[in-house]
Amino acid sequence: MSIKPIVARLNAVTFPMIDAERNILSSINADVVELEGATDDEILEVAENADAIMIVSAYLRGTVIRKLSNLKMISRLGTGTDKIDIDEATRLGIVVANLPDFSTEEVADHTLALILASARRLKYFEGCIRGGQRPLSVAGIHRLAVQTLGIIGFGRIGKAVAKRALAFGMKVMACDPTLAIGKNNEWNVEAVDLETILSQSDYLSLLCPLTAGTREIIGMKQLRMMKPTATLINTGRGELVNENDLALAVTTGVIQGAAVDVFSGINVFSENGFSTEHPYFTIEDHLLLTPHVSAASEEALAVARTDGAQAVVDVWNGLYPRHVVNGNVKPKIPLRHRHKENN
């Protein structure tokens, strides 16, 4: 196509563009509009003529997508697409691309870091030394080699976490609809059902995508099925958990603790900071919090920006991007698959 495309780059305040990103878009002479996109109105006002949208953490609702009449593709600079109305984009012939593997290693590392920090009670021990106190008991601390890690969601990240946990000698179980129940698989994990993984895990890691079926997959009913000595680790999506139930479960001893990097009721991406009026912030011990940074590294964030920009360039050059979320879409503009280029 020869017309100069308009590319709206959302989250340009909280996740600023980098030169490499701009250089890639310059190859198609793109007119880049930078905005945060914190509200629907801002997106509609600034990006109303956009041919493509690049998005990190903002919401792109169907009511907005319907009004962006020129929009041909959405490039998610990350993995999850639960904040984008995929069905509406598909209905309108808009291609949605994402980056399913840009931060696999980072999220797996962070998940193991949270497990280790919880297992060794680092938050508690740091408080002891800063308060000039030596802890008098090691009750509740166990070597990882006698503990069981349960992983709900066994995709790229789940497999990477399992690999790391197995290296520590942990027994690993996984719950995923793609796995046949049993131990006969190439990853040396035991595939189990949801009830089993809840009741037998010492550490339960949530790594499944957010869908209608997984939203609040963990509530008080499920928490009461877990061991009272268990710890919940969530580096998947905040909405996988009923946050009020988890806070209550930790404070009342239903489970021993939790370590959380993702949130439903806390917008850690807010441009002006976020409120700490949330039940999690009332818990000083047994709840470790990090501000949605499991995917963060200099390398991962650079890849997200450049590969996200390349997806836009690919579409503008008539190619399907490498990772299409809505594979059943009938694009507004003619696109060809990569493997046909050499035919």
**pLDDT tens sequence across 246-291:** 999 999 999 999 999 999 999 999 888 999 999 999 998 899 999 9
**C-alpha to C-alpha distance for 330 and 31, rounded to whole angstroms:** 25
Element (H, E) at 128: helix 122-130
Please give the pLDDT value at position 339. Answer: 67
Task: Give the pLDDT mean for 53-67.
Answer: 97
Residue 183 — pLDDT band, cuts 50, 70, 90? confident
- Residue 342 scores a pLDDT above 90: no
- Residue 188 scores a pLDDT above 70: yes
- Residue 23 scores a pLDDT above 70: yes
Please give the pLDDT value at position 16. Answer: 96
Q: Which is it for strands 203-206 and 231-234: parallel, antiparallel or unpaired?
A: parallel
Tokens 């909405």 correspond to 239
Q: pLDDT tens across 304-323, in order? A: 999 999 999 999 999 999 99
Please give the pLDDT value at position 176. Answer: 97
Q: pLDDT tens across 62-98, in order? A: 999 999 999 999 999 999 999 999 999 999 999 999 9
**C-alpha to C-alpha distance for 279 and 303, rounded to whole angstroms:** 35
* Cα–Cα separations (whole angstroms), residue 184 to 144, 179, 187, 189, 192: 23, 10, 9, 8, 12
**C-alpha to C-alpha distance for 279 and 247, rounded to whole angstroms:** 6
Task: Give the pLDDT mean for 166-188.
Answer: 94
Q: Are 249 and 213 in contact (CB under 8 A)?
A: no
| Residue 96 bridge partners (DSSP) | 74
Task: Name the amino acid, one letter, at 264.
Answer: S
Which of these, 44, 46, 54, 50, lies nearest to 84 by C-alpha position? 54
Task: Give the pLDDT mean for 217-224.
Answer: 98
Characterize 100-116 residue by residue with b for buried, 16 or more Cβ atoms within 10 angstroms of its Cβ, and e for exposed: bbbbbbbbbbbbbbbbe
**C-alpha to C-alpha distance for 197 and 158, rounded to whole angstroms:** 14
Average confidence score pLDDT of the chain = 95
Give 52's Cβ-side CA count (13 Å radius): 31
Percent of the chain at pLDDT exceeding 90: 93
In the structure encoding, which two tokens stand for residue 325, read together?
Answer: 């979320």
Q: Are 221 and 249 in contact (CB under 8 A)?
A: no
Task: Give the pLDDT mean for 233-255.
Answer: 98
Residue 3 — pLDDT band, cuts 50, 70, 90? confident
Which of these, 143, 106, 168, 51, lies nearest to 293 by C-alpha position? 106
Which of these, 308, 287, 267, 254, lies nearest to 100 by C-alpha position? 308
Task: Walk me through the domains of the chain, giving residue ranges and CATH numbers.
Answer: 6-102+297-340 (3.40.50.720), 104-289 (3.40.50.720)
